[in-house]
Structure 1
Amino acid sequence: MDGRIDVRNLSKSFGTFRAVDDLSFSVEPGRITGFLGPNGAGKTTTLRMVLGLIKPTSGTATIGGTPYTQLTHPISTVGAALEATNFHPGRTGRDHLRVIASAAGLPDSRADELLTLVGIPAAARKRAGGYSMGMRQRLGLAAALMGDPKVLILDEPANGLDPEGIRWLRGFLRHLASEGKTILISSHLLAEVEQTVDDVIIIANGRAVRQGTIDELRGEKRVRVLSPQSDRLARALSDAGLQVRPAEGGGLSVIADETAQIGEIAYRAGVPVHELHSERADLEQLFFQLTENTNRNLGDPAQGFAAPQEGGR
């Protein structure tokens, strides 16, 4: 089994409410894929269908070509953390993991290995009810990794993490992807995962609105240059084979990888330059443009709320 996640024409309705609508995408092994959308877009409903927790109205979701409910050894195939609050408050982190290890036929020592792996060994004997949100996130990640699965599905994994924790999570997920694991993480904030993911799936109202790599979403690399002799500079740049157009707010926008290339052309042409810098698409702005006016799913019965809430799905 290669660990590839395939979602094909997946839909889910709750009565007359369409939470997920003809959604299709793939998540490849060895890559981190961000599953993004505003609160109430249908992300968690989709993940629950992938994990066999909700039956689709139509369509399919498979892992390595097999539906989750038909996996022979699910704990060694898929690890998931959909909530960071489903711990018994009176149970220690170690005991929580030991219960999971026992159910999976794994030794108790696996619990201590995972607590060390996710960076909270000192919290092993502390009751989960006293954990911070960040510690609960790490404990949930440890539980998801119990069976050393090929696939990891995480819902809002950076919630509650401080900047150092986010940086740790980013490096940790990168390490897991380098081992060939398939990683799917959901978020309602593109900026939160922009530096982490390789591929992006953006949904709104239960439908895919954009898919691709981070570089594809950013678009072509451009350089913005401002000169009091824009016409001369534009001719020099065009003569050098570069595509030039007027930039918003003044100056020129040039398709180029490096600012140095533009500076050298301007120098050779004897044209003064007052401003020169690289610019790429603002992914956060693009995200909001793609998902604006998409609040109809705030009331999705699968999400368990009927009004906008912080941290919703």
Structure 2
Amino acid sequence: MTSTTGARIEISGLTKRFGGFVAVDDLTFTVEPGRITGFLGPNGAGKTTTLRMLLDLVHPTSGSTRIDGVRYAEIERPFMVVGAALEATNFHPGRTGRDHLRVLATANGIPTARVDELLELTGIPAAARKRAGEYSLGMRQRLGLAAALLGDPKVLILDEPANGLDPEGIRWLRGFLRHLSDEGKTILVSSHMLQEVQQTADDIVIINNGKLIRSGTLAELSGGRGTVVRSSDLDSLAGALRIADVESAPGPDDTLIAETTDLRLVGDVALRAGLPIWELKAKQADLEELFFSLTEGTNRNLGDATYPDSAAPTERDALAGQEGANL
């Protein structure tokens, strides 16, 4: 099966209310093809509800979601356009991993040869004949990813895909997702593993209490790139850099942040000024620091003025209530 280019995801003015609880509040963002977008937020921020509305599993109160310009429900062969793995428990426990994929393939007109191809790609061929109910969480994650990729979709939507994976598995997943994005696929990943998202994602969307907090590349969200330098006389170094048309500002822990990514330039300026350099490195954006600075103290699940005494319903409580009502 040949790879296809990705499709743009558009979330526009999306709102979902469960009674008096607003799970998602006027949310707008886009996910571009050929890029990995990390979808972040505290527990109960609205991530799961947003993904379910994107897949038409939950109907929005207002606003819209579009994949390649149309709603998911309007896509003629959705399995070939969108692959999704929202949880690692959606398997018949008595069915083998290979049979689970074969059922999905047959139902969607996909050759069974694709099943064996995906078992190899996701690293579970040895467990193919084992019952899914006996799989570890990490193995279930790999099986869910294989199922999502059966139709060679343009878009891949994953909810906490690294849960249950060992360090080797996480490293494998990082490289695998990068390979898929390099093919042009659109990848939206919801995760709590901030350090992993920092190493994997091209773009970041952060929500809290159902609202968009920030979105953009990690460099944009953290104030851009630069060079961290440590010396015995930061004021003199800042003056020497200014002469070389490089602006700078004091950084944490007695450092100077130069507004350039050219480490050699900074080193040459310091050498000409006769200043010793104790440290010289590229500025690394810290997603964890950024995330907590934007969300700490404002999570409705921790109790605030809107929901005193931590009485706020959680996003999953609201979803469970709706699903129960629909039974």
**Which stretch of the first structure deviates more once superposed, 85-94 or 50-59?**
85-94
Distance 1:174-1:237 versus aligned 2 partners, 3 A rule: same
> Given residue 270 of structure 2, which amino acid in structure 1 is its aligned partner?
A
Alignment partner of 1:11 is 2:26: no
* 1:211-222 correspondence runs (5 A): 211-222=215-226
Alignment partner of 1:114 is 2:129: no
Distance 1:76-1:276 versus aligned 2 partners, 3 A rule: closer
Distance 1:25-1:56 versus aligned 2 partners, 3 A rule: same
Q: Determine the structure 2 residue equivalent to 1:310.
A: none
Distance 1:143-1:231 versus aligned 2 partners, 3 A rule: closer
**Which stretch of the first structure deviates more once superposed, 255-264 or 92-101?**
255-264
From 181, 184, 205, the equivalent of 1:177 is 181
Q: Determine the structure 2 residue equivalent to 1:299.
A: 314
Query: 1:214, 1:251 → 2: CA distance?
Result: 21
- What is the CA-CA distance between 1:254 and the residue it aligns to? 2.2
User: Would you say the 8 A contact 1:45–1:302 is kept in 2?
Assistant: no
* 1:179-198 correspondence runs (5 A): 179-198=183-202
User: Would you say the 8 A contact 2:84–2:157 is kept in 1?
Assistant: yes
- What is the CA-CA distance between 1:274 and the residue it aligns to? 3.6
Query: 1:148, 1:231 → 2: CA distance?
Result: 56
User: Would you say the 8 A contact 2:206–2:215 is kept in 1?
Assistant: yes
- What is the CA-CA distance between 1:109 and the residue it aligns to? 3.0
For the aligned residue pairs, the C-alpha RMSD in angstroms reads 1.9
- 1:267 match: secondary structure: helix
Query: 1:291, 1:271 → 2: CA distance?
Result: 40
User: Would you say the 8 A contact 1:12–1:18 is kept in 2?
Assistant: yes
Alignment partner of 1:239 is 2:281: no
Distance 1:194-1:238 versus aligned 2 partners, 3 A rule: same
- 2:45 match: secondary structure: coil
TM-score, normalised relative to structure 1: 0.91
- What is the CA-CA distance between 1:2 and the residue it aligns to? 5.9
Alignment partner of 1:258 is 2:262: yes
User: Would you say the 8 A contact 1:220–1:280 is kept in 2?
Assistant: no
Query: 1:151, 1:176 → 2: CA distance?
Result: 10
Q: How many residues align?
A: 305
Query: 1:149, 1:229 → 2: CA distance?
Result: 56
- What is the CA-CA distance between 1:304 and the residue it aligns to? 4.0
Query: 1:177, 1:231 → 2: CA distance?
Result: 44
> Given residue 186 of structure 2, which amino acid in structure 1 is its aligned partner?
T
Give structure 1 stretches of 5+ with no counterpart.
306-313
Paired-residue identity, %? 63
TM-score, normalised relative to structure 2: 0.87
* 1:1-313 correspondence runs (5 A): 3-296=7-300, 299-300=314-315, 301-304=317-320
**Which stretch of the first structure deviates more once superposed, 160-169 or 46-55?**
160-169
> Given residue 166 of structure 1, which amino acid in structure 2 is its aligned partner?
I
- What is the CA-CA distance between 1:253 and the residue it aligns to? 3.0
**Which stretch of the first structure deviates more once superposed, 246-255 or 31-40?**
246-255
Query: 1:294, 1:229 → 2: CA distance?
Result: 40
User: Would you say the 8 A contact 2:219–2:285 is kept in 1?
Assistant: no
- What is the CA-CA distance between 1:117 and the residue it aligns to? 1.8
- 1:110 match: secondary structure: helix
User: Would you say the 8 A contact 2:11–2:30 is kept in 1?
Assistant: yes
- What is the CA-CA distance between 1:303 and the residue it aligns to? 4.7
More helix by share: 2
